[in-house]
């Protein structure tokens, strides 16, 4: 890329799309050119707020931008991202990268053939990387993740696995890259909905056991992770903003402000992710979260969903629990 401002756009003018727009708007060397949404009023309202143009058709932007964020419902991630990639535009697509492995592979192939950055919005990875957790040489022996909250109506175009649990699946694979050996899962849902609460047990090839719970029908918010190693344990309460660490390795203050008062990465993971995306575009380097990593997370999520639909898997998981 030249030294001229990078021209960016956001597809999706909902809550998260506006957050993407805000981050681009604040980045030096980036010009937020446009915001796209099928709802013209939403697009115009967001565009006016950030000094961009409003559009209802994504393809109107071809030839006008260098990079784009896709912050639309998961089912349209691939249909929206592929035309941009085919036109030579770098893409940051929110999680999950797509809803099928076939679409994921097509997106990754087009990006590779055109030397484009294709990054997926697994923002919490940046927090774990900044803390030093991902740099530990020892692999965890057990991981427990719990992410739950009351029903809000958001993200219900997909299962809670692709909506919420996908964050923790990505972190699990980043903490322990061992292949999967076994998956067991069960689900519950509200009337007229599907997979609003899923519990899963994963067994990795190195023997690591992973317990995952994600719910959008809980009575109260809960968000924590426990990571057990041979030499200690790390427990993170994301709501209380506390970290307990009994391992011999100190963790950096990524989950809370540092001593000099600067915000931690956890205070603005989306801003850090978009800045990393822009840097990769400018340098022509690999994205912080690669298509292969996003595919691995999606593949595990789909395996959990298949297992949750199996009566035998539900009975077996109940016996283990």
H or E, element range at 184: strand 180-188
CA dihedral 87, 92, 7, 276 (to 10 degrees): -130
Ramachandran assignment for 264, one of left (phi > 0), alpha (psi -120 to 50 degrees), beta (any other) = beta
* Per-residue pLDDT reduced to its tens digit, 282-307: 999 999 999 999 999 999 999 999 99
Of 305, 19, 293, 309, whose CA–CA distance to 162 is shortest?
A: 305
At 116 the three-state DSSP class reads coil
Nearest-CA neighbor of 56 among 77, 38, 79, 81? 38
Contacts of 191 (CB under 8 A, 6+ apart): none
Task: Let me know the angle formed at the C-alpha of 153 by 148 and 158, rounded to the nearest 5 degrees.
Answer: 80
Q: Tell me, what's the pLDDT at 2? A: 59
Contacts of 195 by beta carbon, 8 Å cutoff, 6+ apart: 159, 160, 161, 187, 189, 305, 308
Cβ pair 11, 52 in contact under 8 A:
no
Nearest residue to 84 via CA among 97, 67, 99:
67
| Cβ atoms of 174 and 297 closer than 8 Å | no
Euclidean distance between the first and final Cα of the chain, in Å? 53
Domain 125-260+300-320 falls under CATH 3.40.50.150: no
Q: Report the candidate in 318, 283, 310, 277 with the shortest Cα–Cα distance to residue 67.
A: 277
Predicted confidence at residue 177, as pLDDT, reads: 95
pLDDT for the residue numbered 262: 59
C-alpha to C-alpha distance for 194 and 157, rounded to whole angstroms: 9
The predicted model scores a pTM of 0.91
Q: Does domain 6-122+270-290 have CATH number 3.40.50.720?
A: yes
Write out residues in the chain with pLDDT < 70, as ranges: 1-2, 153-156, 192-194, 255-264, 310-321
Listed in order, the ranges of the chain carrying CATH 3.40.50.720 are 6-122+270-290
Task: Determine the pLDDT at residue 264.
Answer: 66
Instruction: Dig out the tokens for 162 from the structure.
Output: 């692709």
pLDDT at 252: 84
Per this entry, what is the length of the chain?
Answer: 321
Residue with tokens 């402000």: 257
Every domain of the chain with CATH number 3.30.360.10 lies at 125-260+300-320
Q: Say what the pLDDT of residue 319 is.
A: 46
- The CB density around residue 152, as the number of other CB atoms within 10 Å, is 8
């Amino acid at each position: 890329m030249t030294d001229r401002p990078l021209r960016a756009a956001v597809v999706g003018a909902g809550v998260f799309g506006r957050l993407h727009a805000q981050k681009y708007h604040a980045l030096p060397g980036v010009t937020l050119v446009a915001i796209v949404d099928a709802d013209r009023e939403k697009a115009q309202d967001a565009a006016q707020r950030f000094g961009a143009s409003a559009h209802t058709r994504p393809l109107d932007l071809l030839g006008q931008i260098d990079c784009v964020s896709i912050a639309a419902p998961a089912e349209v991630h691939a249909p929206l991202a592929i035309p941009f990639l085919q036109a030579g535009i770098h893409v940051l697509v929110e999680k999950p990268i797509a809803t099928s492995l076939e679409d994921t592979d097509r997106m990754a192939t087009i990006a590779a053939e055109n030397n484009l950055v294709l990054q997926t919005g697994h923002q919490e990875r940046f927090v774990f990387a900044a803390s030093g957790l991902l740099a530990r040489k020892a692999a965890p022996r057990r991981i427990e993740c719990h992410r739950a909250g009351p029903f809000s109506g958001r993200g219900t175009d997909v299962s809670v696995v692709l909506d919420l649990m996908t964050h923790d699946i990505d972190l699990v694979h980043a903490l322990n890259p061992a292949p999967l050996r076994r998956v067991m899962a069960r689900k519950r849902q509200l009337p007229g909905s599907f997979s609003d609460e899923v519990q899963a047990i994963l067994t990795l090839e190195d023997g690591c056991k992973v317990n995952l719970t994600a719910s959008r029908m809980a009575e109260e918010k809960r968000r924590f992770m426990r990571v057990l190693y041979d030499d200690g344990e790390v427990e993170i309460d994301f709501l209380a903003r506390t970290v307990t660490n009994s391992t011999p390795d100190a963790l950096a203050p990524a989950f809370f402000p540092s001593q000099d008062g600067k915000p931690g990465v956890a205070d603005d993971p989306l801003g850090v992710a978009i800045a990393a995306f822009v840097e990769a575009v400018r340098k022509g380097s690999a994205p912080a979260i690669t298509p292969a990593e996003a595919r691995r997370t999606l593949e595990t999520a789909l395996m959990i969903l298949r297992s949750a639909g199996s009566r035998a898997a539900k009975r077996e998981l109940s016996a283990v629990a």
